[in-house]
Structure 1
Amino acid sequence: MSIKTVILQFICPDKPGLVSDLASWIASKNGNIRHADHHTDADAKLFLSRIEWDLDGFLLDKNEITSEVNLLEQRLNGKAVLSFSDDFPNVAIFVSKQSHCLVDLLWRVKAGELCMNVPLVISNHSDLEEICSNFSIPFKLIQVNKNNKADSESKILDLLHEYNIDLGVLAKYMQILSSSFLEQFPNLINIHHSFLPAFKGAQPYHQAWDRGVKLIGATAHYVTKDLDAGPIIEQTISNVSHRDEVSDLIRKGRDLERVALARALRLHLKRQVIVYRGRTAVFT
């Protein structure tokens, strides 16, 4: 039986005594702290903290914790994200034709490695419908072309609302989402098949092969309006040599993509990532 915990992510202006202040507040409510990680950004004069403690035995229920954290935000002029380990978010997976990331994520969810629900897979092609059927997950085909993009995105937004989706994962979804879409649903993680910021855009493995690189990588990042420029969560790399052809880079890259995306998603679900100033602090 897993232990239920409370996770507090907190950002505020830096000043002496903040670690003691937060820990004392938790201790005063009989909280048993399991993990505490802190970081000070000296340039921005910001204090970042992630604290996780047992829910069992804590003197406040979930609603009371939320109210007190709101007061904490006001007192310290900060911003908090409060989470509970037993609350599993609803995650929609976006795909096109490539199956490797989708299969990997669904297997990890089934094995209990990723604490999330997947009530929906969205695709612009029908190729992966059978895979979703094997996992008993609804598959929604929303075809996209240059003439119906706005209408297609509207249908996707309706589905996200209908299925009460908290997070979207672009698992090799080969479409660029519009700024209008991202304004309405900004909670997205993407896997990019290169070691960003190098080789942005299409065919990065071909670009890498042309340059004769000796390392290739994959990058999982949050999606923003700027293409392939969102805050980076996780990156993985592999050695390559002059003997490798483009097909070898693509094969190795698929392995990297699976690992990077799964790691990034796990970090996000465990609330180990704090986004600030267009970048991330990852507490591992």
Structure 2
Amino acid sequence: MLRIAFTLADVGRVRIADHLDPMWEIVLSLHQLGARQDRTSPFRSWATWMRTIARQRVGAAAASLYDLAPPRRYFPDFLTPVPTTACLDEGVDAVLHVPRARLSRELARAIGDPHRSPWPAGIAAAKPRHLHRLGASLHTYHANALAPFHDQITAQLAAHRRQLTRRLADGGVDAVLRNLAPGIRWEPPVLTAPYPVDLDLNLAGRGITLIPSFFCQGNPVTLADPDLDPVLVYPINPPQHWMQPQTGAGDGIDRHLGR
């Protein structure tokens, strides 16, 4: 269970990101790619497209990133830097400038001894060649897995933000926190949500940034390091059939969808 303790000051410092964070979407979409998708999953068609049409273009990048951020109870916080940004280049640049000590510490927590494999060992040691590969993998994955569906994904965010705006206008922050996503409960002064481990996050006047996520499914996600600026990434729950061809995205998508 995740428990986030608010003070009165924190309620006044709730910030809602007006964008999808590309770094969170990269990591969370990787986890969806590795998950078993049943027929009702909104990511079933996307995952099938990734494993077939896009496989040659994105396979190596996806595998490299998956090795660093497997879908376990913890993945490295440095892959989803704060503050949140809508700009992929800014996010990647923040990842590539994480101090070596933090890289090593977080990778050890995520995957055990990173030195058992040359790839995570190079990242843990902040070797330029490996960091260059990490940056290239992030860009390649985003360009081939997420960018082709930019219009569809941002349309879902726009619809979600319209709901948020109505709730904020009608009931203030309290109404927003009470209706974030299924399973998230707001009983002032504590926000609770299902979580793979017991985690208490005391905001202590810092406030929190709420980050809507397209590829987050089920439980919300937060950063493991309590000293980082608090965030809560929560699912916007796209409809099952959101995936439609984007004009100019290429006939590979059209073929997969039978168009």
Classify the TM-score, shorter chain: under 0.3
* Bigger Cα Rg: 1
TM-score (normalised: structure 1): 0.25
TM-score (normalised: structure 2): 0.27
Write 1 or 2 for the structure with the bigger share of helix.
2
Write 1 or 2 for the structure with the bigger share of strand.
1
